[in-house]
Amino acid sequence: MIRDLCDGQLEGAEIGSTEIIFTPEKIKGGIHTADTKTAGSVCLLMQVSMPCVLFAASPSELRLKGGTNAEMAPQIDYTAMVFKPIVEKFGFKFNCDIKMRGYYPKGGGEVIVQMSPVKQLNPINLTDRGSVTKIYGRAFVAGVLPFKVAKDMAAAAVRCIRKEIRDLYVNIQPVQEPKDQAFGNGNGIIIIAETSTGCLFAGSSLGKRGVNADKVGIEAAEMLLANLRHGGAVDEYLQDQLIIFMALACGVSRIKTGPVTLHTQTAIHFAEQLAKAKFSVKKSEDEEDASKDTYIIECQGIGMTNPYL
């Protein structure tokens, strides 16, 4: 996909290869289609292409096909409801239109992403967590699965959250995905907590054959609660997704996180190697974080500028 976005040369990109050689050319913009032909995640296609098309010569429309709600990747709901509002703090906007949802194993989903290039990215500062003001979400079923499954996931998640957070209304909507907007069968849930300073945290889970609905709801609720306990201003799944943007931005970015994931450590390693950005990861020195596993990730961005604008 990246080769096609920039008319580049790519050698060795086949299964079993241990080395690739990639030579990028001019990032063009325009309309691009990428199809995993399986339930391969459209969100991962979006992750890899977005930093490129931000520095394109003209606006881009990416037509991404595959799985929208798949294991081992963000669900499209997470990308739209958590990643998008936070990443737009770097000073760009994008539009994400879910045409069709697709699930494991067939995929068949399609998402259209539209974005305009920027001259430069702004640094971000996400260190003030604030207090939780809202908890909401959606529990969905698609295809042949009964609507009761969505209601059961939502109810179990609400019960689980109530044990720990008593004073907030938890609004999880059960949803039957319309037949014309979902390919195949699937079920899952995403729950989001919003804070007074605009931070967003999520817990999510996907149904699998033989796993009862209550268990799926509880898993998402427990993931959300774990992310609220650590005192960071981003959840464990957002931290690594912000690294590349911090590296490219102009100025110093800081984010407060819980335990730094292996994904984030890897992202930092490659951002330092490839972009020559400088990162530091230090334990938070704030008093309220003393008893918690809380860190500040700081980056001196390289101030990448778009040569075409």
Q: CB of 225 within 8 A of CB of 161?
A: yes
Crossing angle between the packed helical segments 239-248 and 262-275, to the nearest 10 degrees: 10
From first to last of the 309 residues of the chain, give the pLDDT tens digit.
999 999 999 999 999 999 999 999 999 999 999 999 999 999 999 999 999 999 999 999 999 999 999 999 999 999 999 999 999 999 999 999 999 999 999 999 999 999 999 999 999 999 999 999 999 999 999 999 999 999 999 999 999 999 999 999 999 999 999 999 999 999 999 999 999 999 999 999 999 999 999 999 999 999 999 999 998 999 999 999 999 999 999 999 999 999 999 999 999 999 999 999 999 999 999 988 888 899 999 999 999 999 999
Can you say how many angstroms the Cα of residue 292 is from the centroid of all Cα atoms in its chain? Answer: 24
Angle between helices 42-53 and 239-248 (to 10 degrees): 10
The sign one gets for the Cα dihedral 279, 280, 281, 286 is negative
Does the pTM exceed 0.85? yes
8 Å CB contact between 286 and 274: no
Query: Is residue 131 exposed (0-12), middle (13-18) or buried (19+ Cβ within 10 Å)?
Result: exposed
CB of 84 within 8 A of CB of 46? no
Instruction: Report the amino acid identity of residue 56.
Output: A
- pLDDT of 290: 84
The SS3 of residue 23 is: strand
Sequence-distant (6+) residues with CB within 8 A of 91 are 118, 120, 121, 122
d(CA 291, CA 299): 25
Active-site residue, selected from the candidate residues 32, 230, 263, 269: 263
Query: What does DSSP assign to residue 185?
Result: -
The pLDDT assigned to 225 comes to 98
Annotated binding site: 47, 237-241
Question: What single letter denotes the amino acid at residue 78?
Answer: Y
Give 71-100 pLDDT, tens digit per residue: 999 999 999 999 999 999 999 999 999 999
Catalytic, 230? Answer: no
Q: Which pLDDT score, from 0 to 100, does residue 155 have?
A: 98
- E-assigned strands of 36-124? 60-66, 94-102, 109-115
